[in-house]
Amino acid sequence: MGKFSPRAVAGALKKRPLPAENAFLNTESVVIRITSIRETVRRREKHGTDTPEELHETFESRNSMRSDIRRFIRKIPKAELHIHLEGSLEPELMFAIAERNGVELPYHSVAEVRRAYRFTSLQSFLDIYYEGMHVLLQERDFHDMTAAYLARAHADTVRHAELFFDPQAHTERGIPLETVIGGIHSARVEMENRTGMSTRLIPCFLRHLSADSAMASLEDILRFRDLITGVGLDSSEVGNPPAKFTAVFNRARAEGLHVVAHAGEEGPPEYIRQAMDLLGSERIDHGVRCIGDPELVERLKNGQIPLTVCHLSNVRLRVFDTMADHNLKRLLDLGLRVTVNSDDPAYFGGYLTENYLAAQEALNLEPDDILTLARNSFLAAFLAPEEKGRYLEELDRFVSLFPHTQRGKRQ
Ligand code: ES4
Ligand code: ZN
């Protein structure tokens, strides 16, 4: 008997009465409905459908099941650990800011902007991404961009977000770092007060620029040491190995900053090793190309080094041909500490719920996989143990409403 069969779910429900506090989650019928719809769809797929009525019913069932799963995904408490704030700048806001700043964009409409978002590689994206952020001039612009992202994240039940931004992309254009950090920080404080969510800031160094430029940027950043949790490394990966920035990251670690780095997105497994061995990277951003190196996979597993995976991004940047080809589920099944993240949601077509949903659909994730991903997101966060504990307890309370996700409860 499958774990989604009505009998299994009904039996579990009997043993464990559901707390009646959430309008969506508290009814037995919803859980049983997900189960029976899923069974029906599977049976139909196996044995085929014959009448148009049955086909229609299958279609309806699919839609209904999809909306139930979507709701489960949206509601589950989670953390986001890999989001570039500048990559959350939606075309609508880009236009509004451009207008108020008197900046001319090379596009006439939002639709034209979106049409330009067809990428063939990381670099083809980065060229457009750096161009897009040219509208950001005033503190208010950084504030509005950050507030818009955090409101969107809150709607996805993101309880904790660690926010990347690219100081050099702004200071190189003559925008002082206080303008950038001032805007981001005030939005953070406002949204934390309004929603109770927590946030952290992680400025990243642009690896296509020199190590000297990164070191100068670090000194600039250290003027705001109290507002910063860690540092990261992003931009054009191939040809700019982590080794180039060893001295910069030594200095950052000496300041007690956390360290992360993009590695193994387009670059080879060797870059992941360098990120850990030379930079002291505590998490690997992307890291999906580790799969070509079994020894490295073993090391990532044994050390439970978190990978902040962004599969919508990977498919849009052609790291994988299709979502069905993505190795997220494989990495998860190998026991790696995988997390799901949105990277540059305004450019890649989805925030966190869409990312989870895309993986669920293409890779057939079970509820327990979703739970593991959410749990991993808190375990991998740069939070004090008691803060982590608080979020994990909330997750446990959520889980207790779903008897068919027992495996996810304890790891
Ligand atoms: C990025 Cl997807 C990605 N990769 C590397 N650097 C980045 N900066 C913003 N998005
Ligand atoms: Zn990234």
Residue with CA at minimum distance from ligand 1 atom 6: 235
Distance CA 56, CA 50 (A): 11
- Per-residue confidence (pLDDT) for residue 129, from 0 to 100: 98
Q: How far apart are CA 358 and CA 348, in angstroms?
A: 12
Say if CB 203 and CB 167 are below 8 A apart: yes
24: its two tokens: 């969506």
What's the pLDDT at 7?
39
**Cα angle at 266 between 245 and 247, to 5 degrees?**
5
The residue with tokens 């925008």 is 175
Residues with CB under 6 A from ligand 1: 84, 87, 122, 129, 234-235, 262, 265, 313, 343-344
Contact 156, 79 (CB under 8 A): no
**Secondary structure element (H or E) that encloses residue 378, with its range:** helix 367-379
Q: What residues have CB less than 8 Å from 173, skipping those under 6 apart? A: 134
Position 134, amino acid: H
Closest ligand 1 atom number to CA of residue 313: 2
- The C-alpha atoms of residue 393 and residue 334 are separated, in whole angstroms, by 26
Closest CA to 393 of 80, 77, 81: 77
Q: Which residues contact 403 (CB under 8 A, 6 or more apart)?
A: 9, 12, 13, 15, 16, 18, 31
Q: In the chain, what percentage of residues exceed pLDDT 90? A: 80
Q: Give the Å distance between the CA of 247 and the centre of ligand 1.
A: 22
From first to last of its 411 residues, the chain has per-residue pLDDT tens of 333 333 333 333 333 333 333 333 433 434 444 455 566 556 656 666 557 777 777 777 777 778 888 999 999 999 999 999 999 999 999 999 999 999 999 999 999 999 999 999 999 999 999 999 999 999 999 999 999 999 999 999 999 999 999 999 999 999 999 999 999 999 999 999 999 999 999 999 999 999 999 999 999 999 999 999 999 999 999 999 999 999 999 999 999 999 999 999 999 999 999 999 999 999 999 999 999 999 999 999 999 999 999 999 999 999 999 999 999 999 999 999 999 999 999 999 999 999 999 999 999 999 999 999 999 999 999 999 999 999 999 999 998 887 666 544 444
Q: How many whole angstroms separate alpha carbon 54 and alpha carbon 101?
A: 56
Task: Quote the CA–CA distance of 46 and 129 in Å, as a whole number.
Answer: 45
Atom from ligand 1 closest to the CA of residue 237: 5
Nearest to 180 by CA among 253, 85, 93, 83: 85
Cα 365 to middle of ligand 2, angstroms: 23
Whether the Cβ atoms of residue 136 and residue 97 lie closer than 8 Å to each other: yes
All residues with CB under 5 Å from ion ligand 2: 343
215, burial (CB in 10 Å: exposed 0-12, middle 13-18, buried 19+): middle
Amino acid letter at 363? L
Residue ID of nearest Cα to ligand 1 atom 3: 235
Structure confidence at residue 8 (pLDDT) = 36
Instruction: Note the pLDDT of residue 44.
Output: 59
Instruction: Kindly compute the dihedral angle of the four CA atoms of residues 218, 221, 222, 225, in this order, to the nearest 10 degrees.
Output: -130
> Contact at 8 Å (CB) between 87 and 343?
yes
- Give the C-alpha separation, 357 to 365, whole Å: 9
- pLDDT of 51: 72
- CA separation for the pair 80, 163 (Å, rounded): 8
Atom of ligand 1 nearest to the CA of 204: 8
Backbone dihedral angles phi then psi of residue 310, each to the nearest 5 degrees: -135, 85
Tell me what pLDDT residue 48 has. Answer: 62
In order of 35, 251, 372, the CA distances from 187 in angstroms are 42, 29, 30
Check residue 283 and give its pLDDT.
Answer: 98
The radius of gyration of the chain's CA atoms, rounded to the nearest angstrom, is: 22
Cβ-contact 32, 10 below 8 angstroms: yes
Helix axes 294-302, 269-277, angle to 10 degrees: 40
Residue nearest to atom 4 of ligand 1 (CA): 235
Ligand 2 centroid, distance to 299 Cα (angstroms): 22
**242: Cβ contacts below 8 Å, ≥ 6 apart:** 233, 261, 263, 271, 274, 275, 278, 279, 281
Report helix, strand or coil for 138. Answer: coil
Angle, alpha carbons 286-292-294 (nearest 5°): 105
Pocket residue to mutate for ligand 1, from 120, 165, 234, most atoms within 8 A of Cβ:
234
Q: How far is the CA of 2 from the centre of ligand 1 (A)?
A: 41
Residue 259, SS3 per DSSP: strand
The residues assigned a catalytic role are: 265
The angle subtended at Cα 332 by Cα 330 and Cα 334, nearest 5°, is 70
pTM comes to: 0.87
